Homo-oligomer: A and B are copies of this chain.
Amino acid sequence: MGNDHSVEVPNHCSMCGNRHLSAFKNLGDEDLDQLSEMKTCVSFKKGQVIMHEGARPQGVYCLHSGKVKLYKLGAEGKEQIIRFMTKGDLLGYRSLLSEETISGSVSAIDDTYACYIPKSSFFQVIQKNPKFTLNILEKACHELGEMGKIITSLAQKTVRERLAEILLILRATFGETEEGNLDISLTREEIANMVGTATESAIRLISELKEDSLIETKGRKIKILDATRLRKIANVFD
């Protein structure tokens, strides 16, 4: 087991446990049949680039398992991580629907399985099923709100506040392992690329949080010890 894609990703969308998380949640059997016929299962190894900024995708990916990061390259070639995505999330639809090139690259930060749905099938489902379009729209609208929050943080908070905030966001997004560590493994550079700071600054501030016993780290494992105080530092109230 585990060496066959059909184990990792069900062949038929109706069998997919993530369906209710995705934009495909309320499609009828007929639509699901059609989707299942057109989709192909794909896997990406940790570190592999799934989509390239500036390209024109020929389809969308529906993530089945694993974790990916969406990032843009800044002027000096530095990665800015915009968001993470995981099971149930749809990749590439933005570009197809706005008829623009891909606004950011996507790469796997864990081994990742996904279903690839070609452009034509994607648009067929959209045409046939207004509910699907509305699902996507709803997700896009939610994302717009999230990005507004990120913009406000970046513009107004200090690096220290943003770092604390992002540690909390990581926990809310990915949860914890049995040992209590954040269930995502990131390099300090990647953390810096989310926070929007220099890698050294992120490292230094992480060390400070450690000294103050707010967090504990061992290599890339990070454990949040005092979420309350962390929340205070982050200046978040919700």
> Could you tell me if B80 and A151 are in contact, using CB atoms closer than 8 angstroms?
yes
Chain B residues near A100: list those with CB within 8 A: 141-142, 145
Q: Chain B residues with Cβ under 8 A from A160's Cβ?
A: none
Report whether A140 and B140 are in contact in the complex, using a CB–CB cutoff of 8 Å: yes
Cβ distance A191 to chain B, nearest Cβ, rounded Å: 13
A137 touches B133 (CB 8 A): yes
Q: Which of B103, B126, B145 contacts A134 (CB 8 A)?
A: B126
Copy tally for this chain in the complex stands at 2
**30 A-B Cβ contacts within 8 A?**
A74-B152, A75-B156, A75-B161, A76-B156, A78-B156, A80-B152, A82-B151, A82-B152, A93-B141, A97-B134, A97-B137, A97-B141, A98-B142, A98-B145, A100-B142, A103-B144, A126-B134, A127-B130, A130-B130, A130-B133, A133-B137, A136-B137, A137-B137, A137-B140, A140-B140, A140-B144, A147-B147, A147-B151, A154-B196, A156-B196
- Inter-chain pairs besides A97-B138, A98-B141, A147-B148, 6 sampled, C-beta below 8 Å: A98-B142, A103-B144, A137-B140, A151-B151, A151-B154, A156-B196
